[in-house]
Amino acid sequence: MSHSIIVIGAGIGGLTAGALLACRGYDVTVYEQARVPGGCASTFKRRGFNFDVGATQVAGLEPGGIHQRIFAELGIDIPPATPCDPACAVFLPRETEPIQVWRDPKKWQVERQKQFPGSEPFWQLMAKLFRASWNFQGREPVLPPRNIWDLWQLISALRLDTFVTVPFALMTVGDVLRLYGLANDQRLKTFLDLQLKLYSQVNADETALLYAATVLAVSQAPQGLYHFQGSMQVLSDCLVEALEKHGGKLKLGYSIEQIHPQNNRVKQVTIRHQKTGETSTETADHVVANVTIQNLIKLLDISSSLFWKLYQNRTEKLPRPSGAFVVYLGVDRQAIPDNCSSHLQFLYDDNQPISENNSLFISVSEPGDGRAPNGKATIIASSFTDPQIWFHKTPEAYQALKQQYTSEAIVRLSSYFYLTPDTLIHQEAATPCTFARFTARDKGIVGGVGQRVSTFGPFGIATRTPLNNLWLVGDSTHPGEGTAGVSYSALTVVRQIEMSE
Ligand SMILES: Cc1cc2nc3c(=O)[nH]c(=O)nc-3n(C[C@H](O)[C@H](O)[C@H](O)COP(=O)(O)OP(=O)(O)OC[C@H]3O[C@@H](n4cnc5c(N)ncnc54)[C@H](O)[C@@H]3O)c2cc1C
């Protein structure tokens, strides 16, 4: 008889784990509280426009990339996608010409040498660390290890070249900038802060060096970022197709309310039908939770277990995660300047930390990419915000704050795009409260656990939990956020479940 699996959540992490487990012969049911799958990588439609809720660009589609490998195992085609080149056009404060993060490594080298003279030794070190880390990750280490099998997977992934990274394992990007005498290069520092914040949640001074080496290099060939044709939804749609093709089930509109433990294992889960409010309980051999670690500790109450208490304590002590404020604009194509890149980043004030709503990461649809009707385009702009400021407000105060953030974002966008009452067709915004409601993420936090030295790699959040048959997938776990990152964590859980049988 095949073993039964309950997956909590149909984000990219949960769907990937569910589809792979179904493909490997398990009896899988995925419960998703929302009415559509995909979580932070889903899409909504308004007046003929398709808006990507959060994720807009994807890594890991190249041959040997994590999505490509998983799609090959699942026996489904990768949906059509176009490479992002440049991956991003970065505008620093008071500058009108962007730093273009080109896809071609040679072109990017010429660009960075022009933009940041004297910094090449730093980039060469990053490239060396990237090659070693990328090869290591490709051999599927389990990080952080929690038992002998995990440790063996980790040891088996080590090669001579991995040891190049060892002296740098406890360093941050800031440490290496100091080592190379670049700590006072404010332009370079600001550029790195901006780019790293997107992936690691923290700035250069705090980002773990080995994590930075990877995220700063994935934009270039032979890796590279891609834009799906149609919308981000195609990624989850394909994973749902694979799940169902291999006999798995997806139940939309069902929320897991509680996980009940017994003797260090999950005994059953309580499921609530969102529409009717009816509850039921289900049992399974394994439960895979595609939720944030902050959500996971709320789903269980095991005050008697010492291990669980330690797990809870660590979660509570994690640095405060970030939230996102996002504006979604449907515009006439005339609003888009000529030669506009599909992804842009703007910093507005370098005297403030980047987390204080003073930068925008912007994604613009391309003609014919399926996101907007003919002659129209979508502009999606997100900034970092402290989730705390959005909750526990009167409805009037909340709406006023949302309006203030929206107006500020539109004023800022107007300095680059031609936004007028004639070109602006549709506008709406999402706050941490919106993310909390639609993705059920605790306090609307997004992007996972910041990749500081203390929370990366061997010190990161494990996919194993203190309960033997409860697993955590998604952007709280190693190797971090993004659809590619959560797919690695899903693959790790699938291998761990297989080995535990
Ligand atoms: C504004 C923004 C921009 C981003 N841009 C990019 C980008 O360009 N590229 C990129 O790769 N990544 C990007 N990311 C990050 C990326 O979207 C996420 O890291 C990734 O999608 C997270 O996937 P996940 O599976 O871990 O979690 P989620 O997407 O959060 O999925 C979890 C799912 O579980 C469901 N759920 C939660 N609790 C329960 C419960 N109790 N019962 C049932 N269901 C439950 C939720 O509804 C959700 O569907 C961005 C994120 C944001 C917010």
Tell me, what's the pLDDT at 301?
76
List, in sequence order, every residue forming a beta bridge with 260; answer none if it has no partner.
268
What are the b/e assignments for 97-115, b being 16+ CB within 10 Å? Answer: ebbbbbbeeebbbebbeeb
Q: Which residues face 252 on adjacent strands?
A: 32
Residues of the chain with pLDDT under 50: none
Q: How far is CA 445 from CA 32, 269, 390, in A?
A: 18, 24, 11
Q: β-pairing, 225-228 with 470-472? A: unpaired
For residue 44, give the nearest of 341, 330, 331 by alpha carbon. Answer: 330
- Whether the CB of 57 sits within 6 Å of ligand 1: yes
**Beta carbon of 248 within 6 Å of any ligand 1 atom:** no
The answer to whether 327 touches 434, Cβ cutoff 8 Å, is no
Bridge partners for 363 per DSSP: 343, 380
> Cα(223) to centroid of ligand 1, in Å?
22
Residue nearest to atom 14 of ligand 1 (CA): 55
Q: Do the Cβ atoms of 20 and 301 come closer than 8 Å?
A: no
CA 42–ligand 1 middle distance (angstroms): 8
- Beta strand residue intervals within 40-111, DSSP E: 43-46, 49-52, 58-59, 81-83, 88-91, 99-101
Pocket-testing residue among 290, 296, 360, ligand 1, by greatest number of atoms within 8 A of Cβ: 290
Beta strand pairing status for 249-252 and 27-32?
A: parallel
Q: Starting at the edge strand that comes first in sequence, how are the strands of the sheet with 81-83 ordered?
A: 58-59, 225-228, 81-83
DSSP code string of 280-305:
EEE--SEEEE-S-HHHHHHH---TT-
Check if 475 has its Cβ closer than 6 Å to any atom of ligand 1.
Answer: yes
Does the CB atom of residue 269 touch ligand 1 within 6 A? no
Q: Is the CB of 474 within 6 Å of ligand 1? A: yes
Residue nearest to atom 1 of ligand 1 (CA): 54
> For residue 210, which of 253, 258, 249, 162 has the smallest C-alpha distance?
162
- Give the distance (Å) from ligand 1 centre to CA of residue 393: 25
List, in sequence order, every residue forming a beta bridge with 326; answer none if it has no partner.
382, 430
213 contacts: CB under 8 Å, gap ≥ 6:
126, 127, 129, 130, 133
Instruction: DSSP for 222-247, please give it.
Output: TS-EEEESS-THHHHHHHHHHHHHTT
Q: CA 2: distance to chain centroid?
A: 32
Q: How far is the CA of 499 from the centre of ligand 1 (A)?
A: 27
Tell me how far the alpha carbon of residue 34 lies from the centroid of ligand 1, in angstroms.
12
**Which residues in 355-369 are b (16+ Cβ under 10 Å) and which e?**
bebbbbbbbbbbeeb
State the alpha helices, DSSP H only, in 324-480: 395-414, 432-439
* Distance (Å) from CA 420 to ligand 1 centroid: 33
Ligand 1 proximity of 31 Cβ (cutoff 6 Å) = yes
Tell me how many degrees the CA angle 230-238-43 measures, rounded to the nearest 5: 45
Q: Is the dihedral of CA 12, 13, 15, 19 positive or negative?
A: positive
- Ligand 1 in reach of 440 Cβ (< 6 A): yes
**What is the predicted pLDDT for the residue at 2?**
76
Please state the domain extents for the chain. Answer: 4-38+232-319+447-500, 107-216, 323-442
453 neighbors 174 (Cβ within 8 angstroms):
no
Return the residue whose CA atom lies nearest to atom 49 of ligand 1.
Answer: 39
CA of 298 to the centre of ligand 1 (A): 18
Nearest protein Cα to ligand 1, atom 50: 55
> Does the C-beta of 40 come closer than 6 Å to ligand 1?
yes
At 233, list the tokens: 């939804």
Both tokens of 172, joined, read: 């941050």
* pLDDT given for residue 72 in this prediction: 98
- Sequence-distant (≥ 6) Cβ neighbours of residue 403 within 8 angstroms: none
**Of ligand 1's atoms, which has the minimum distance to the CA of residue 31?**
43
Alpha helix stretches (DSSP H) within 418-461 = 432-439
Q: What is the pLDDT of residue 356?
A: 72
Phi (first) and psi of residue 258, to 5 degrees? -155, 145
- Residue bearing the CA closest to ligand 1, atom 16: 482
Distance 363 CA to ligand 1 centre (A): 17
CATH of domain 4-38+232-319+447-500: 3.50.50.60
